[in-house]
Chain A
Amino acid sequence: MIGFAKVFWLEIVSLVRSKTLVMLAVASVAWMFAAPFIAKGDGTADGAREMFVRYSLGGAFAILLVSLLAAATGSLARERAAKRLQLTMVRPVNHMLVALAKTAALTLSGASVLALCCILMPFAPGVGDGVLGRQCSHVLKPRLPSPRDEARDMYDAYMADPETPAAVKKAKKSVVLRLLENRAVDHYQTIATNDTVTWRFASAGTAAEAKGLAVRIRFTNQFDVRQDVRGELRIGPLSGVVSNITKAVVTVPLSRRAAEAGVAGAADGLSFSNKGSSALMLRPRKDIDLLVPADSFAWNLARAYLELVSILAIAVAFGVFLGASLGRPVALFVAIVTLVVGEISPSVIEQYPDELETSVADRIGLVLTRFAAEVTRPVAALQPLGRLASDECVEPGETARVVLLDFVAVPLALALLAGLVLPRKQDGL
């Protein structure tokens, strides 16, 4: 570990004495307190709180992410351009440790500023008093076959269907399966009047024993939400009444009314009886959530913080690696483009399904976008802020996985690569 501590210390000293760290802290905290005056809520206290949590902390995080990514691309590239790096390279130091120390120092700086933002967030205007004590919920989804399995099951029937377009029949199996998988995610279930459907949930039996159990249903499809939507939900001895007039999303608290109803629902299943005057269409994978009480917002914030720091770590490690391999302007350009492509690729794929791949340019663009999405998904598909803002539990298991992968494994691998590239890049001196 010779050299790690020294390079780490040097990077921290540079960030402090160049006032970079202070400027980052001021910009992030200033945004935290300015965001509530810029973002507008939906008029309700909960809506305002959700908005402010998302945009105050989210904005501060975005400032940190972009700034640290830019700083990371320069940490090695600028030192090499100033020829200071060669004085470190000729010392008995493992080059991987040099890259790792710089990654660690920049990540720690970002983590410090983010911690300050998290500590100050409850005091930001609009977030509301007592936010730290709010209860968050585990979100359980109905236990269904995976969209991929459903797509495989549908494949033969779909290809044999005379209504399937000829162009699709000529397409590769992998493309058709992807098409069917996308459809499976949005698979609708129709519930006729007076019909009852049951969705199974993992560990729902245990959940049914918990106090404060609730069900969240989204009516966000083409179904007209102003129509009469009425029904009853049951799980074990608990039940709740759904009565939706204007809201697109309703959260129904479940309570013990077994005596009144006379019958109990299945222990591991949530049943819904449609008591309205028309049929309902719901997407079970997207529209039905069982909300099981979890711990407080403060704990949720702590887990979200760890996930956000892990994202910073991976961005910094990537920036340092690019700085080891490329000149500063090119490294910065590649880093920003990768960040943008990583962020927008999921929505591009969603909005441009396979059917739209009609021209060569579209096909090439979508292949590249899909590749970027596949590569960045393990590290970019995190939405701790969205869950934090909507009082959904940032699951500890997922946080542990994110920390192991994004905070430890990937930065180590990138530092190793940077260490291999660094001495070869010196040839460009």
Chain B
Amino acid sequence: MNDSEDIVRLESVEKTFRDFWLRPTVKAVDGLSLSVRKGEVFGLLGPNGSGKSTTIKMILGLLSPSAGDVRLFGLPPRAIEARRKLGYLPELSYLHPFLTAKETLRYYAGLCGLKSAEAKERTTQLLEMVGLADVAGRPVGGFSKGMARRVSLASALVGRPELLVLDEPTSGLDPVSTKEVKTLVKALAANGMTVLTTSHLLADAEDICDRVMILDHGKSVAEGRVSELGTSLEDFFLAKVGDASEFRLAPFLG
């Protein structure tokens, strides 16, 4: 693999949040470098507050890095050409409550530049794929969390993206739906789609990721192929991040 096949590339990226008076409050990402290669499923793992979501938002162009360089398809993340090849599933389903499932998908299809006939066909196809064809005409405001999540996933895929960014993709899903999502991600990757995902659920990440990076306090503490870890991802993760729970809980457990 060479640099030209890097779909996502971060070099020495830093992100410092500031207060109203521009005083630094927290350094969420500290000198992070990573690359996601074409066709792989890359997992960004780490405890809460480790900088995963901030990193994802910088890759999506929703946040500007304080230092360093972020490239998406070799372009700045806010370039329209880069965004044309991007699909994004946020951590929670932020849907327009007045729209039906079908309207939601057609809205995002329109934003991705799909023509009307193609958008219609793609919408029908995706609603069937996520199992919501029967409720396509219902407003999503009345959907359960799991159903809303499926609509969001379909919305992320509607523009036929080359890179799919998933922020906690199985969050809020029941075990059956979780398995479906994992199967879907594997199938998409098998068809050549590049996937960048974050997850708290290490077992899920272990199932779908080719390569993972573990973040802690905004820094990369480990990176490697899942197949080459030589141990379970959970053990590897705890060894790198540190299992403080026994020490912290000891006074309460007697």
Residues of chain A at the chain B interface (Cβ within 8 Å): 2-3, 5-7, 9-10, 13-14, 17-18, 82-84, 86-94, 423-424, 426-427, 429
Q: List 16 A-B contacts (CB under 8 A).
A: A2-B111, A3-B111, A6-B110, A9-B107, A13-B99, A86-B62, A86-B90, A87-B88, A91-B108, A92-B80, A92-B81, A92-B111, A92-B113, A92-B159, A423-B64, A426-B57
A9–B109 Cα gap in the complex (Å)? 13
Report how far A112 CA is from B155 CA in the complex, Å. Answer: 32
Task: Choose among B94, B107, B112 the residue that contacts A92 (Cβ–Cβ < 8 A).
Answer: B112
Contact residues in B for A424 (Cβ distance below 8 Å): 64
In the complex, what residue of chain A is closest to B57 when comparing beta carbons?
A: A429
Residues of chain A within 8 A (CB-CB) of B111 are 2-3, 6-7, 88, 91-93
The residues of B that contact A7 with a CB separation of less than 8 Å are 111
Question: What 6 pairs between A and B have smallest CB-CB spacing?
Answer: A6-B110, A91-B111, A17-B98, A92-B84, A92-B83, A84-B94
Q: Give complex CA distance A125, B64 in Å.
A: 59
> What's the minimum C-beta distance from A74 to chain B, rounded to whole angstroms?
14
**Interface size grouping (class) on chain B:** 20 to 34
**Alpha-carbon distance A116/B194, docked complex (angstroms):** 53
On chain A, the residues within 8 Å of B44 by CB distance are none
> Does B179 reach chain A (CB closer than 8 Å)?
no
CA–CA, A6 to B112, complex, Å? 10
Chain B 51-65: CB-based contact to A (< 8 A → 1; otherwise 0): 000000100111110
- The listed residue (A2, A10, A89, A423) touching B96 by CB distance below 8 A is A10
Report Cα–Cα, A14/B95, bound state, in Å. 12
Q: Do B113 and A2 touch (CB < 8 A)?
A: yes
Q: Mark contacts of B16-43 with chain A using CB atoms, 8 A cut-off: 1 yes-contact digit, 0 otherwise.
A: 0000000000000000000000000000
- The tally of CB-CB contacts under 8 A between chains A and B is 77
Instruction: Tell me the bound Cα distance from A341 to B99 in angstroms.
Output: 38
Asked if B78 lies at the interface with its beta carbon under 8 angstroms from chain A, I say yes
Residues of A within 8 A of B98 (CB): 13-14, 17-18
Task: Determine whether the beta carbon of A6 is less than 8 Å from that of B94.
Answer: no
CA of A38 to CA of B105 in the docked complex: distance in angstroms? Answer: 49
A54 to chain B, nearest CB (A): 37
A6 to B61, CA, bound (A): 21
In the complex, the answer to whether A10 meets B99 with C-beta atoms within 8 Å is yes
Q: Are B113 and A87 in contact (CB under 8 A)?
A: no
Contact yes or no, B64 A6, CB < 8 A = no
B residues near A429, Cβ cutoff 8 Å:
57, 62-63
Indicate if the CB atoms of A83 and B88 lie closer than 8 Å: no
Does any Cβ of A come within 8 Å of B86's Cβ? Answer: yes
Give bound CA distance, A6 to B105, whole Å.
11
Give the residues in chain A near B94, CB-CB below 8 Å: 82-84, 86-87
Measured CB to CB, the closest approach of chain A to B20, in angstroms, equals 10
Contact flag A91-B62 (CB < 8 Å), given A86-B90, A429-B57: no
Q: A14–B96 contact, CB under 8 A?
A: yes
A89 and B95: CB pair below 8 A? no
Known: A6-B111, A429-B57. A87 touches B83 (CB 8 A): no
Decide if A423 touches B88 in the complex (CB within 8 Å).
no
In whole Å, how far is A80's beta carbon from the nearest beta carbon of chain B? 10
A3 contacts B110, CB within 8 Å?
Answer: yes
Q: How far is the CA of A423 from the CA of B76 in the complex (A)?
A: 13
Output the nearest chain A residue to B77 by Cβ-Cβ distance: A90
Q: Mark B80-124, 1 if CB is under 8 A from A, else 0.
A: 110110101010101110110001000110111100000000000
Distance to closest chain B CB from A84 (angstroms): 4
Across-interface contacts of B60 in A (CB, < 8 A): 86, 90
Q: Which residue of A lies closest to B53 (CB)?
A: A429
Nearest-CB residue, chain A, relative to B79: A92
The closest CB in chain B to the CB of A5 belongs to B110
Give the CA-CA distance A17 to B97 in the complex, in Å. 10
| Alpha-carbon distance A89/B77, docked complex (angstroms) | 11
How far apart sit A379 and B107, CA to CA, in the bound complex (Å)? 35
Residues of A within 8 A of B61 (CB): 89-90, 423
Q: Closest A-chain residue to B112, C-beta based?
A: A91
Q: Contact between A83 and B86 (Cβ–Cβ < 8 Å)?
A: no
- Apart from A92-B112, A423-B78, 11 more pairs, CB < 8 Å: A2-B111, A5-B110, A6-B107, A7-B111, A9-B107, A87-B88, A87-B155, A90-B60, A93-B83, A93-B111, A426-B63
Shortest beta-carbon distance from A210 to chain B in Å: 55
